[in-house]
């Protein structure tokens, strides 16, 4: 039960970020709010070097993958402030998503004594 609670806590920032999308119409303001959520989330739970690595990896790789995916025409966005094809805030959402996933997997792998 403790692991489930911990994983839910890691997911809350992602859910908050998603909930902000329809409320904040300016992509740059939304990205700034995402940065605030990310910094707060990393500070509230002692972040590690691997958290920062996951954040960076998620930001860069998912930007590239989203670009490729959108270029195929399979997916489109109404908000296209980054490269003219995707929202500016999207890589920030993906980046923290990677951190939440990484932390959740570590929680699942951790044995409670």
| Residues whose CB is less than 8 angstroms from the CB of residue 59 and which lie 6 or more positions away in sequence, other chains included | 91, 92, 94, 95
Task: With cut-offs at 50, 70 and 90, classify the pLDDT of residue 103.
Answer: very high
**CA atoms of 5 and 9, how far apart (whole Å):** 6
Task: With cut-offs at 50, 70 and 90, classify the pLDDT of residue 46.
Answer: confident
pLDDT of residue 47: 81
User: Nearest CA to 13 among 45, 49, 44, 38?
Assistant: 38
Q: Domain containing 18: what range? A: 2-109
82 phi and psi angles, rounded to 5 deg: -115, 115
8 Å CB contact between 59 and 52: no
Least confident piece of the model among 11-20, 51-60, 67-76, 85-94? 67-76
pLDDT of residue 19: 97
Q: What is the pLDDT of residues 66-86, one digit of tens each?
A: 999 999 988 889 898 998 889
The number of distinct structural domains making up the chain is 1
């Amino acid at each position: 039960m403790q692991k489930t609670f911990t994983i839910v806590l890691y997911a809350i920032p992602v859910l908050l970020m998603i909930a902000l999308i329809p409320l904040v119409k300016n992509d740059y303001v939304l990205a700034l709010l995402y940065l605030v959520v990310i910094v707060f989330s990393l500070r509230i739970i002692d972040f590690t070097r691997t958290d920062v690595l996951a954040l960076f990896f998620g930001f860069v790789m998912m930007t590239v993958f989203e670009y490729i995916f959108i270029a195929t025409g399979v997916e489109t966005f109404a908000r296209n402030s980054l490269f003219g094809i995707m929202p500016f805030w999207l890589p920030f959402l993906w980046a923290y998503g990677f951190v939440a996933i990484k932390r959740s997997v570590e929680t699942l792998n951790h044995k409670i004594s």
